[in-house]
């Protein structure tokens, strides 16, 4: 028994400390040489902390004029034709005598100025309906004959179609205009109490009334500038002068193109100014470029 105990004691000593299972309270075994070196480097190396990202705020100092005021949005340059202001001055000079047909036979001169306001406005609209595809002299003659019969909504509705046709002949498309005049007069009597509408949208909804007529009616009858009235003269001259960014094919295209750049305070005079200019100088066929002050400024004249 003593010999067995001696052998077990000798075996435990040969294994050395920590060779057997560790119990509670026992000291841990010392680390090996490589592990000790790694632990030493780890304990002496600084701990890297993740830095929090910060937002950079930059403030710009405004000029003295901007301080205390709201900044205005940048204005996009608007296209405008070259030399248009000088061209307009020249046209005004050529039209200074006011002796074109439109100056004394146009819509402004076709209604009875002594009639009640409602009747005057109706006569303005009727003269515009007659003027489509018709020279001012012919329109003025038709209006004189109608006024001699008493030109009101009621009198037109009481006039048979054949008689009305004779009174307005030879205006262009007179048969169609007889129908449109009767239909429009009925609508005015039923919906507007014999007066005419006071908006472009309602005016163009009437039979035989187009955009040019509507804008002129707003200007002459109601004293409101709602847009540029573009007829064949204005359409032709605007394209010849280069007043449209690109060539336009219709009067409505020309109106939209002009209204994009032409100052609104000039809209009221453009129709009468260019119509008279087209009647006397810038003719549809064989324009009188030699007598035009804009000969050197007109793109169309350079090509002739």
**What secondary structure, in 3-state letters, does 226-268 show?**
CCCCCCHHHHHHHHHHCCCCCCCCCHHHHHHHHHHHCCHHHHH
Task: Give the pair of three-digit tokens for residue 238.
Answer: 């605007």
Q: Please, are residues 298 and 289 in contact by the beta-carbon 8 Å criterion?
A: yes
CB atoms within 10 A of CB 171: 22
E runs forming strands in 22-123: none
Instruction: Match 């009727």 to its residue by tokens.
Output: 126
Residues identified as active-site: 212
How is residue 108 annotated by DSSP? G
Q: Which of 238, 243, 196 shows the shortest CA–CA distance to 216?
A: 196
Burial environment of residue 273 by CB neighbours within 10 A (0 to 12, 13 to 18, 19 or more) = buried
> Residue 195 and residue 185: Cα distance in Å, rounded?
9
Give 161's contacts (C-beta < 8 A, 6+ positions apart): 178, 179, 182
> Residue 291 and residue 263: Cα distance in Å, rounded?
28
Q: Which of 289, 302, 299, 291 shows the shortest CA–CA distance to 244?
A: 299
Compute the half-sphere exposure of residue 269: CA atoms within 13 Å on the CB side of its CA. 12
């Amino acid at each position: 028994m003593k010999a067995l105990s001696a052998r077990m004691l000798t075996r435990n000593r040969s294994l050395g400390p920590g060779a057997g299972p560790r119990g509670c309270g026992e000291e841990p075994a010392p680390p090996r040489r490589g592990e000790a070196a790694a632990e030493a480097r780890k304990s002496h190396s600084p701990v890297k902390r993740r830095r929090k990202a910060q937002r950079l705020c930059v403030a710009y100092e405004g000029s003295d004029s901007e301080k205390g005021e709201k900044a205005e949005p940048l204005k996009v340059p608007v296209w405008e034709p070259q030399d248009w202001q000088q061209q307009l001055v020249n046209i005004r000079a050529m039209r200074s005598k006011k002796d074109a047909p439109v100056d004394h036979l146009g819509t402004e001169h076709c209604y009875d100025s002594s009639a009640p306001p409602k009747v005057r406005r109706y006569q303005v609209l009727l003269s515009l309906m007659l003027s489509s595809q018709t020279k001012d002299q012919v329109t003025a003659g038709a209006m004189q004959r109608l006024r001699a019969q008493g030109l009101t909504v009621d009198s037109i509705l009481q006039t048979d179609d054949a008689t009305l046709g004779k009174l307005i002949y030879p205006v262009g498309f007179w048969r169609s205009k007889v129908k449109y005049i009767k239909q429009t007069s009925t609508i005015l009597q039923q919906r507007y109490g014999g007066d005419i509408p006071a908006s472009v949208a309602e005016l163009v909804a009437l039979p035989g009334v187009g955009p040019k007529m509507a804008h002129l009616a707003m200007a002459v009858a109601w004293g409101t500038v709602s847009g540029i009235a573009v007829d064949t003269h204005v359409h032709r001259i605007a394209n010849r002068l280069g007043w449209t960014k690109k060539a336009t094919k219709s009067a409505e295209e020309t109106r939209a193109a002009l209204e994009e750049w032409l100052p609104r305070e000039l809209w009221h005079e453009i129709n009468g100014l260019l119509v008279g200019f087209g009647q006397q100088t810038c003719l549809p066929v064989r324009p009188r470029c030699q007598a035009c002050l804009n000969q050197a400024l007109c793109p169309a004249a350079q090509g002739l």
